Amino acid sequence: MKKYLLGIDLGGTNLRLAVVTTEGQMIEEINVKTESDKGPEYVINQMIEHCREILRKWTIEAIGIGSPGPLDVEQGLILSPPNLPDWDQIPLASILEKALQRKVVLDNDANAAALAEATIGAGKGKESVFYMTVSTGIGGGFVFRKQLLQGAHFCAGEIGNLIVDRDGPPHHTLNIGALETLASGTVVKQQGIERLGITGHAGEVFAMAMNGDKDAKVIVDQMLASLAKGIANIVHTVDPHMIVLGGGVMQSKDYIMPLLLEKVNGYLYPQLRNKVQIECASLGTKAGVIGAALLTQQASIQ
């Protein structure tokens, strides 16, 4: 009997579950609203119900969850993510293990997406892949020979906190001058609201810049300069075979990518210019849930 993996992508807005083969192929997907405003108990009960539905139909070997951080990966705890209000020290892995009688693995959503993109997505076949997600926040994951590098304290890939500037807006947990405070979608959106009077999301700012709006161009230019510094710092630290860029901001990739690549080259050692491979993610919104399933196959590499 063929065995499958169950992936869960727990987001602030969407809850995705998927049945995935051990090779990373998605067989079936459930996609519902998280309704996180109803509190953790409600969300977890819904999650368990959907899992049971899947377990009745498929032979599931293990369950992997990708969740917003901060987490305690070793204990399988969700600490207190800004995207999941009222979630505080929730032992999600052990709750699901008890309810469903399967091995359950928990990791952060960026690591899950990194694993999927590196092994079956844009980075497939590459020796080492650094995945970056640029969205509400900025996160990442380093996959080396198909294994996620977790780090000694499970903090490898926490690139939102990379210092790339002396100044920047203050943040309650991130450094002054941290990448996420200068180059996230939230920053672009916020500046769009303040300086351009937009009412929607970061994509509007990119669209205005593409159409020649000078103020929008300044916002985009500053954001991309910071993002490029972050990418250069990753390259000069681990020199990955590919950098894969995902997250909501990459919906504007046609406009962003040429500008970004030019800036990255400006911050690299001369011998690295135009040689570092930087590609857009290829699995879209499915990366998180597929990667969550694949987490269950990882030998822990710290």
Are 110 and 139 in contact, with CB atoms under 8 Å apart? yes
Nearer to a copy of itself among residue 147 and residue 285 (C-beta): 147
163 near a copy of itself, rule: CB under 8 A: yes
Task: Name the residue nearer to a copy of itself (CB basis): 12 or 151.
Answer: 151
d(CA 146, CA 123): 10
Instruction: Note whether 271 binds a copy of itself by CB under 8 A.
Output: yes
Number of residues that bind a copy of itself (CB under 8 A): 47
Burial class from Cβ neighbours inside 10 Å (0-12, 13-18, 19+) for residue 242 reads buried
Q: Does 285 bind a copy of itself (CB under 8 A)?
A: no
- 235, 244, 245, 278: which one contacts a copy of itself (CB under 8 A)? 235
Q: Are 245 and 280 in contact (CB under 8 A)?
A: yes
Minimum Å distance from CB 152 to a copy of itself?
A: 4
Q: In angstroms, what is the minimal distance from the CB of 169 to a copy of itself?
A: 14
Cα separation, 248 vs 11, whole angstroms: 13
195 is an interface residue for a copy of itself by CB under 8 A: no
C-alpha–C-alpha distance, residues 263 and 174, integer Å:
24
Residue 165 engages a copy of itself in binding (rule: CB under 8 A): yes
Residue 273 binding a copy of itself, by CB under 8 A = no
Of 45, 109, 64, nearest in space to 82 by CA: 109
Please report how close the Cβ of residue 299 comes to a copy of itself at its closest, in angstroms: 12
Using the rule CB under 8 A, is 166 a contact of a copy of itself? yes
Q: Which of 63, 98, 94, 62 has its CA nearest to residue 77?
A: 94
Asked if residue 117 binds a copy of itself (CB under 8 A), the reply is no
**List 22, 151, 186, 190, residue binding a copy of itself (CB under 8 A):** 151
CB of 78 to a copy of itself, least distance (A): 14
CB of 120 to a copy of itself, least distance (A): 20
Q: Does 13 bind a copy of itself (CB under 8 A)?
A: no
Find all residues with CB under 8 Å of 246, minimum gap 6, and list them: 113, 117, 131, 132, 133, 134, 280, 281, 283, 287
Q: Which stretch, 97-105, 110-118, 216-224, 272-280, contacts a copy of itself (CB under 8 A)?
A: 272-280
- C-alpha distances in Å from residue 206, one per residue of 133, 198, 213, 215: 17, 11, 10, 11
In degrees, rounded to 5, the angle at the alpha carbon of residue 32 between the alpha carbons of residues 247 and 79 is: 65
The region that residue 94 occupies, defined by phi over 0 for left and psi between -120 and 50 for alpha, beta otherwise, is alpha
Residue 175's φ and ψ, nearest 5 degrees, are: -65, 155
Amino acid at the residue 93: A
CA angle 232, 298, 41 (to 5 degrees): 95
CB of 148 to a copy of itself, least distance (A): 12
302 makes contact with a copy of itself (CB under 8 A): yes
Within positions 125 to 144, which residues make up the interface with a copy of itself, using CB under 8 A? 127-128, 142, 144
In the set 162, 202, 256, 290, which binds a copy of itself (CB under 8 A)?
162
Q: What is the rounded distance in angstroms from the CA atom of residue 301 to the CA atom of residue 290?
A: 19
Binding of residue 173 to a copy of itself (CB under 8 A): yes
Our CB check for a copy of itself shows the closer of 231 and 256 to be: 231
Q: Is 156 a binder of a copy of itself (CB under 8 A)?
A: yes
Write out the two tokens for 121: 């997505």
Window of 116-124, 199-207, 238-246, 291-299 that interacts with a copy of itself by CB under 8 A: 238-246
